[in-house]
Structures are given as structure tokens and as C-alpha cells.
Structure 1
């Protein structure tokens, strides 16, 4: 019964935090440590429930993905000022390369409470800098984002491979520093999240295939459903929040979380 409760709690945490710039992976690591839910099976579980959040975004943005997929299949990349598959591909390449090169190091060294606390703080500092730096906005809407900006945002996305840094926090901060509006950066972050998260999850599941047993399938399914349902609600609610609320507020939350966990748990 305790494992089922843990699965529900972690699924809810995943759904709530995946698309906020506060790091879902960091929250899952810290929550798993508090619940005593660790080990290889627990790591695999945390990978599986991310699929629930991925499915939520895929459903909510399906029209946009259908247009991008249609353009990709017809090689239609000539339309100016329109987000297309090339934007998504070049935004994914940097993180994919870093993941393939450093995956073992990341899982061995960075998947722990202490590294997460450090990255929560560093990510918060980046967000404050990005929010306060003076810049000229050249991309008010997602369709205004250039290939150069998409690639630059992809470079910032590499920071999210460090658990606790936050993929949305890194990419939105990168977008702001590269001249996009916070709204455009947030939209772009949500749109590229599906192929990025889906690819990373599939690779992680393949690496963890030896730890998936029939005994764990019920827990995995419960966590998946919890993450999916909560993410469906959270994406709609938080998308407007991310677009309007300054990044400093999320940074403050990250600092408080790191301080509380360090004082009372570490």
C-alpha cells in the first residue's frame, strides 16, 4: 500500500512540476529521498511517469504538431516567420549530443540530493539574470523565433540534463537572453518538450529495461495515470502563469526549496 501511495504522490509531483521552471526531476529526486523510494526500480519509475506528462502536452498541442509533421513530410520549410520542424530539430540536437556523451556521468554523479540543491540555486540565479538583463525583443510570438534563436535555446537546454536545473527554466531563460519574449519562449519550450522528453524517456527506458518487472507494472501504471491527469490540468493552468509571472518568483521558490531541504533533511 505504501508503494501505491508513493506512486500517486510522485505522479502528482511530476504532473505539477514538469512544465514549471522548478525542475520536475529535482523534485522527484528530493521527494523520493524523503519517501525512501529509491533504487534502480524507483529510477525507472521516475522515467515512466514522465511519459504521462508528455502525453498530456501531445494531446493539448496536437494541432500544432500535425501542422509541423505535415510540413516535415512535404519538406515545406520555406514559409517565413513560421515555426517548423527545423526549429525543433536544431533545438534538440545540442542536448541529444551532450546526453549521448555524458549520460553515464550524469546518472552516476548528478542524480542525488546534493547536486540537485546546487542546480536549484544555479538555475534560479540564471533565471534572475535572464529576467533582468536589458535586451531587444525580436520574437514576440513563437512563429517569430529564428533558426539561430532555436539553436541557442537548444544550447541552454543542455543545462537541464543536470537534475534540478529545469528544462523549462533553462530554455525560457535562454530565450529571454536571445531576444524572445517570455510568452514566445514559454510556448516554444512546451512545443519542443514532447520530442525531447519522448526521446530521452525512450533511451532511459531502454537503458533501464533490466529493472522493469511485471511486479512493478501496477505501480508504473498508477504513477503514469496520476502524472497524465495532473499534467493535463497543470499545463492549461501554468502556461498562462509562466507567460505572465516574472521568472524571479520561480527563482525565489527554488531558493526556498533548496534551503528548507538543506536545513531539515541534509
Structure 2
């Protein structure tokens, strides 16, 4: 397979899985097991494409929040996004510097997929028993920030899954409200994480020699695919539960344990 075709495939997979609650890390692990590992720089670039996609999807909402600062409800919502981001940054940075992260190998990722699927079904069940509660509270903002840190420590958890279902359990039981808040928090969070990772590589002189054509193809593929997937997901969850994603995670995790070498 040519480098450009490999890059295209990896970009599509990143765009498909970054914001669905199924773990982009787990899927990229499978593909890179067969197609070969890519550089950290390459992985940062395709994640940046996914961030651009979600920014484009929410461009009108972001403009509404930015231009409507005189509205108290807008200011309150932006402040909660800021709190969730700051919690992630203030807790996550020391965790990262301390090196508290499980290795991106099959066994921990597979178990994170399986346990995450069970957690998703349980969380959605208990959230729905409380009835329709669309508001994002300060408690939700803090716990979403912490959930993003947990997802960073346990590869395969899925940042979106951990944060969405934490929001639903903590008080925002409406799926669409919880998902929108988590996605909006994800924009500054992922930009900051990608920027930090890029700075680390630059300071270490580890940007390497890249095939820039392949990098550009992967970036474009991640952006285009991510845009379509997020638009679809926002419509899907208005009338569907997350159960299908949970079952998929459990099946994928079991397949990883059975079919892939434990050390890969």
C-alpha cells in the first residue's frame, strides 16, 4: 500500500472515531498494527484535522457565544466551558509530567473499551431514570474536566465517551445537551493538548523527516470525515440511545484480546 493511501486511511479512521464514543486510539492501534507505526508528529496533525472539523461544525454556536457576551446565559455557559478546560489543564498537566499513563498496547486498551462500553450502558440507564434535565451545572463542568483527564490516563477510554456520560450522570441527562457541551469543551482542550505535544516534539528536535504530501492528505481526510461524522452524530442522538456504540466497544475489545498479540 502506498504511503499516500495509508495516510488517507489513517486520516479517515481518525475522523470517524475521534468524536464517536468508541476510542480513536483503539482503532488507530489496530490499523497501525498492520500498516506500520506513524510518527508522533503525524498523529498530532491528523488530530488537528479532527479539531478543525468540530470547530467548523460548531462555528455558528461559537459565534453566538462570542458575540452574545452581554447575555447572562451565554456568559454562564462560556464560564462553564472555561472551568471544564481549566480543570483538565490544572489536573492533567501534572499527571502528564508525572508520566501517569497506561501504555498504548492491546491489553489495557481492550479492557478500557470493554469496561467503557458497560459504563456507557449503565450511565445512560441511570441518567434516563432521572428524567429530562438539559441544564449544564457547575458540578457537570468540573466532572467533565476530570473525565477528560481520566481518558488521557487510560488509552482506549475515549475522551468523548468519558466526558459525555459523566455529564449525563452528573445532571445533564439530555444526550444532545451533554454532547454539545463536551464537544465545545473539547475544542480548547484538544487544541491545547495538540499544541503542547507539538511543542514537546519541537523542543526535543523530534519532528523528523515527514512525507508532507501524506501528512496533508491525512489532515484533509480527518477534517472532512470528522465534519460529516459529528454532523451525523448530533442528529442521531436526538432520537437514539448510545447502546449501539457500547455494544460495538465491547465486541471490539473482546476481539482485540482474542486476535491481537498482547504486547503489540
**TM-score normalised by L of structure 1:** 0.87
Partner of 1:250: 245
Partner of 2:37: 37
Q: How big is the shift at 1:136?
A: 2.6
Partner of 1:127: 120
Q: How big is the shift at 1:145?
A: 1.3
Output aligned runs, 1:214-233, within 5 Å: 214-233=209-228
SS in 2 for 1:244: coil
Q: How big is the shift at 1:231?
A: 1.1
Contact 1:86 1:147 in 2 (8 A): no
State the Cα RMSD in Å: 2.2
| In 1, Cα distance between equivalents of 2:92 and 2:162 | 16
SS in 2 for 1:260: helix
Q: How big is the shift at 1:257?
A: 0.7
SS in 2 for 1:215: coil
- Cα deviation 1:69-110 (Å, max 9, x = unaligned): 345xx6x5x714775321111111222233211225256x43
Which one of 171, 174, 184 corresponds to residue 163 of structure 2?
Answer: 171
| In 2, Cα distance between equivalents of 1:30 and 1:97 | 32
Contact 1:183 1:244 in 2 (8 A): no
| In 2, Cα distance between equivalents of 1:137 and 1:199 | 35
Which one of 111, 127, 140 corresponds to residue 104 of structure 2?
Answer: 111
| In 2, Cα distance between equivalents of 1:222 and 1:54 | 16
| In 2, Cα distance between equivalents of 1:25 and 1:178 | 26
Partner of 1:16: 16
| In 2, Cα distance between equivalents of 1:112 and 1:83 | 40
Partner of 1:237: 232
Unaligned residue ranges in structure 1 (runs of 5+): none
Contact 2:65 2:78 in 1 (8 A): yes
Q: How big is the shift at 1:66?
A: 2.2
C-alpha change, 1:240 and 1:83, in structure 2 (3 Å) is: farther
Contact 2:115 2:250 in 1 (8 A): no
- Residue-pair matches, total: 255
SS in 2 for 1:139: coil
Partner of 1:95: 88
Q: How big is the shift at 1:223?
A: 0.9
| In 2, Cα distance between equivalents of 1:150 and 1:179 | 10
- Cα deviation 1:136-167 (Å, max 9, x = unaligned): 34632xxx312222222222222221221011
C-alpha change, 1:67 and 1:208, in structure 2 (3 Å) is: same
SS in 2 for 1:195: helix
Partner of 2:199: 206
Is the counterpart of residue 157 in structure 1 residue 157 in structure 2? no
Unaligned residue ranges in structure 2 (runs of 5+): none
C-alpha change, 1:244 and 1:31, in structure 2 (3 Å) is: farther
Contact 2:167 2:178 in 1 (8 A): yes
| In 1, Cα distance between equivalents of 2:217 and 2:42 | 10
